[in-house]
Amino acid sequence: MISPDTDWDGVRLHVVTGKGGTGKTTVAAALALALASAGRKVLLIEVEGRQAIARLFDCPPLPYQERKIAIGLGTGNGEGGDVLALAVDPEGALLDYLAMFYNMRRAGNALTKLGVVDFATTIAPGLSDVLVTGKATEATRRRIKAGSKDSPHVYDAVVMDAPPTGRIGRFLNVSTEVSDLAKVGPIRTHADTVAKVIRSPQTAVHFVTTLEEMPVQETLDGLAELQELTDGAIAPGAIVVNMARPALLSPDELAAAADGSLDVAGLAAALKAAGIADDDHLAADLAAELREHALQVALQDRARAELRAAGRPQYELPMLTDGIDLAALYELAAALRQQGAA
């Protein structure tokens, strides 16, 4: 096994969260591709039943079954390894849990028919969260030869496309959430096992954000909440800035564009030299676009600085104007890898 020099050596469960609309699933998928370089095997887990991973990889809806969906990013160290995906739902996880720990698959089916799963997810989301995160931690711990501590892990890394920032603290804080409901008992023991993995250095929680006010605020709130809820026991990972737009002008030019002191006549002359002299207003209209660009760059810079104050490693992915397809995912994976995320 080649141990790549990344910011997350030793981390095997990557939890990816982010505000809705920031591209959390895209980043989780790109991270999985980046981690699956050099023959490493990676599992990408979806937990919200949205089938967003299937759409992203353009494959049929994912079942509750680990299924190969892509090959990792190829690098100088060799070809990419397999990326598998799994859609975990509370019901499947409950049946799995019963079968695995109690050998009770039949009883599980009866429970489902009676609406027990619906009951659990309705009355106590903490219970369904523990089942879902339980599946992720099980995959993280799974070894090729079950039960043998010397046997290598089945997966070199597991990436979870987790619930959004607003819910992530509670979602991961399974042990406490469940202990409010169950002081003792098997589900409590299970929750404690799950919590042990989540609270170990093997797990890191990454936050995806765009450089806009609200996602940045939610990211900072999410980090603070994670720290507060778990007393720092769950390790925060990186902040992944998504859909960033590069500055196309120098700082002086940006300042001029923002305050309207840009040399519009000079711009018009340059346009004319390039063969564009349609009308008198074009240069002014382009200057207006540059002004918006300058305001946006300033906004992005403020957001970046606010994020940096959180003291987490920070990666940046560009806005891709053509949208996200498989090729774009590899492009983002390469960017993550190059910045040390994988």
Least distance in angstroms from the C-beta of 20 to other proteins: 2
How near is the Cβ of 49 to other proteins at its closest, in Å?
8
Angstrom distance (rounded) from CA 177 to CA 126: 6
3-state secondary structure 78-136: ECCCEEEEEECCHHHHHHHHHHHHHCCHHHHHHHHHCCHHHHHHHHCHHHHHHHHHHHH
Distance set, CA 233 to CA 6, 173, 200, 264, 328 (Å): 22, 10, 8, 56, 35
Among residues 255, 267, 310, 335, the one that binds other proteins under rule CB under 8 A: 267
Residues 70, 71, 72: CA angle, nearest 5 degrees: 120
- Using CB under 8 A as the binding rule, the residues of this chain from 33 to 52 that contact other proteins are 48-50, 52
Mask 160-179, x = binds other proteins (CB under 8 A)? ---xx-x---x------x--
19 contributes a contact to other proteins by CB under 8 A: yes
Contact between 161 and 240 under an 8 Å Cβ cutoff? The reply is no
Query: Which position among 2, 100, 102, 152 is part of the footprint of other proteins (CB under 8 A)?
Result: 102
CB of 334 to other proteins, least distance (A): 21
Site for other proteins in 310-329 (CB under 8 A): 321-323
Tokens of 78: 């060799």
* CA-closest candidate to residue 205, choices 167, 230, 236: 236
Mark the segment that binds other proteins (CB under 8 A) among 3-11, 140-148, 191-199, 271-279. 271-279
User: Which stretch, 58-66, 146-154, 263-271, 308-316, contacts other proteins (CB under 8 A)?
Assistant: 263-271
Residue 153 carries which side chain, given as an amino acid letter? H
CA distance 6 to 4: 6
Q: Name which of residues 212 to 231 contact other proteins (CB under 8 A).
A: 212-215, 217
Nearer to other proteins, 46 or 156 (CB): 46
> Where in 69-98 is the site for other proteins (CB under 8 A)?
94, 97-98
3-state SS assignment for residue 214: helix
Near other proteins by CB under 8 A: residue from 271, 310, 328, 335: 271
Site for other proteins in 111-150 (CB under 8 A): 111, 114-116, 118-119, 121-127
Nearer to other proteins, 153 or 293 (CB): 293
